[in-house]
Structure 1
Amino acid sequence: MTRKLTGKCFCGAVHYEVADEFIYAANCHCSNCRCTTGPAFKPFAGIGRDKFRLTTGDDRLLIYGDENGHDAHCGHCGSLVYSLVRDGAYVHVAMGTLMDDPGIRPSAHIFVGSKAPWFTITDDLPQYREHAEG
């Protein structure tokens, strides 16, 4: 049986459950991710939409975008909880909102072509100017 992970926003108004079956994970340095989260990059993990479920607070979400692609924030505290991507087929969970330890770690830095100029990447993960190749 697949292990379920839980996550939540900062204030606890929005909670979710996700299968520990992430397909990929990366550190995104694009300006949108930086603006929606605040730090130099957003660690995220991608999974099929059907493996992610809001358990509390779906009526508290503030959605930027549409049904095929959006960022979902808690409407109370503003935390970015997840992003719906790739024509609505995948969810990118903001890894900082996970309460449990996932079985995946970011494997690359993406969109380093637009990373914050004041931040220096100091690990040995591959770096891609835009999306990871392959």
Structure 2
Amino acid sequence: MTKIKGRCLCGAISFEVANTFEKLFMCSCDQCRQITGSAFASNLFVSIEEFDWLKGADDVVNYQLPGRDISKSFCRVCGSGVPWSSDDGTKMIVPAGSLSEPAIVAERVRIFTSEQPSWASNLEQVPAHAEFPKLR
């Protein structure tokens, strides 16, 4: 089983996870957009047995949205999103952007597209740049 590493932006937290992801969920629900500040959350799910903290587990802070099954874990130093365990403790939810290496994903799934904002539609038609474009 191949393992890959991930970390927060400042490096205070790092982890290792089996590179055997069945699905990548890209969620456009209102709560995931608010909690990430982006068009959607990109999360991978893996068995808790296939996940190990390498350092900084004590620097992980978790926010649980009251009354909902929505949470976010982040680094107390830099605020980057980091993995958290599912409510039943059987899975780790890994923010795809926290991985330092490419993930092997069997299937990508978009969910709650009915809540996707209009500005996040048809992104393949938006001009793409390899770097930050010059401002006028």
TM-score by length of 1: 0.79
Return closer, same or farther for 1:42/1:106 CA change in 2, 3 Å cut-off.
farther
Matches of 2:30 and 2:107 in 1, distance apart?
Answer: 18
Give ranges in structure 2 of 5+ residues lacking alignment. 125-136
Matches of 1:121 and 1:53 in 2, distance apart?
Answer: 37
* Corresponding residue of 2:127: none
* Corresponding residue of 1:88: 89
* Corresponding residue of 1:43: 42
Return closer, same or farther for 1:70/1:50 CA change in 2, 3 Å cut-off.
farther
Deviation at 1:12, TM superposition (A): 1.0
Identity %: 29
Q: Deviations over 1:52-78 (max 9, x none)?
A: 11111111111123xx98422101111
Return closer, same or farther for 1:72/1:97 CA change in 2, 3 Å cut-off.
same
**Larger helix fraction of residues:** 2
What residue identity is the alignment partner of 1:40? A
Report the structure number with the largest CA radius of gyration.
Answer: 2
Give ranges in structure 1 of 5+ residues lacking alignment. 124-134
TM-score by length of 2: 0.77
Deviation at 1:118, TM superposition (A): 2.2
What residue identity is the alignment partner of 1:120? S
Q: Contact conserved, 1:24 with 1:47, CA < 8 A, in 2?
A: no
Secondary structure in structure 2 of the residue aligned to 1:118: helix
Taking the TM superposition and a 5 Å limit, the aligned residue runs for 1:40-119 are 40-65=39-64, 70-85=71-86, 87-104=88-105, 107-119=108-120
Alignment RMSD, CA only? 2.3
